[in-house]
Amino acid sequence: MYFLYSAALVLTFILATPYWLFKMLTGGKYRAGIAERLGRVPERVRSAQPGDVCVWIHAVSVGEVLAVSQLVNELRGAGEEKLRIVVSTTTTTGQNLARERFGAENVFYFPLDFGFCMRPYMRALRPKLVVMAETEFWPNFLRKAKRCGAKLAVVNARISDRSLPGYRRWRGILSRVLDNVDLFLAQSEEDKRRLIEIGAPRERVQVSGNLKFDVKPPAKLPIVEQLRAAIARSGGGPVIVAGSTVGSEDRAVLTMFSRLLGEFPNAVLILAPRRPERFDEVAAMAQAMSLRTWRRSVADLDTTAVSGGVLLLDSIGELGSLYQLGACAFVGGSLENSGGHNILEPAGFGVPVIVGPHTHNFRDIVGLFRRGDALIELPQGHPEQDAETLHAAVVSILSKQASDKLAHMNEVMRSQRGATARTAAALNRLLEEAQ
């Protein structure tokens, strides 16, 4: 099985080489970490204080890095003086955040799933415990780690609606891969059921909760106080934040806001499209609708009177902090069938949340809030109806008609915290077995 998998991987790699060579020549992010991905252990990692016990955590991108950040702190504070924790990522954005959080000497790009790429890391790090965040089931990696004597755990494990059918089809093979894992810590009972269904040994699967409920709110960036002062100076408010919007959602949000100004003439909209390549398009759309519009990249917030207008957040990494300014927040990717985005960012600041009907990427989180009557979900409708339903939802929050949602939201947040402590305790027990 592993031979056939490796052969298929080699073939895929060869066929994709021309594409990746082109991308590497035309885009710097595709060149990032190529040597590390091919098995070269960076000197900064190799020469760092080795420690007697190494834990290797793999977190694909920004979301996973944020989820495991508090877990790393819990493990480091468990009393093991010579514990070294290293973190690998797949994406460049995840790599940058991980280096900032854990130190560059402890962070590297995850190697390709070939034996010759994995071996140098196994020899250099000699991990006692390998931890994968969410659903990173790399067959060769899991087998190599197991053969090196490491205990293996999957934390914050979830099986999405989209990936479940594929896992089911390959259950016969996947069950052999998952047999390498010593412990699965699932986000929910449904994820536990799905893990067992696709081949995880029942006795090794537990529910520990979702680490993302324990993620601390983003650090307060300078723009938060700058914008707060600009809003106060111009008599602005209330503030509506629309984050990670895609496709037709930007037009719906802008149409909603244009109508809202008739009722709240000093309202401020912070609009953050999901993809940078759409910044120009959305700015032109707002101006065509005669909305006063400022772009974050060029606006002087010390002099700009933002009351009654739109601040287009054409920047990266600031949305999470700016949610705290909102009287309410619409989390995008949910009116369009994109699966939605993380509602915990605004909810963590106590900001009432509005989403569309398409939230399957965050099924369990949204389900908890739904069952707790702690958010507003817009119905399925045509794009031309979205602005109207979004407007009604925003007005219900601003006019205090939906004030109970906020109390329920805080109750849900309180009830779900503690997953990090439970996960750390389980990993420490596994680490004791490995020594």
Residue from 36, 43, 64, 433 carrying the catalytic annotation: 64
Identify the residue whose tokens are 């940058």. Answer: 96
Q: Residue 244 in contact with residue 313, Cβ under 8 Å?
A: no
Sheet architecture: strand order including 129-133: 107-109, 83-89, 53-58, 129-133, 151-157, 183-186, 205-207
The position carrying tokens 């885009």 is: 27
Cα(210)–Cα(369) distance, rounded to whole angstroms?
A: 13
Q: How many CA atoms lie within 13 A of 136 on its CB side?
A: 26
Q: Is 64 assigned a catalytic role?
A: yes
**CA–CA dist 95, 105 (Å, integer):** 12
What distance in Å separates the CA atoms of residue 277 and residue 213, rounded to the nearest whole number?
31
- Note every long-range contact of 366-373, with CB atoms under 8 Å and residues 24 or more positions apart, other chains counting: 366/340, 368/412, 368/416, 369/343, 369/409, 369/412, 372/408, 372/409, 372/411, 372/412, 373/404, 373/405, 373/408
What amino acid positions are annotated as catalytic residues?
A: 64
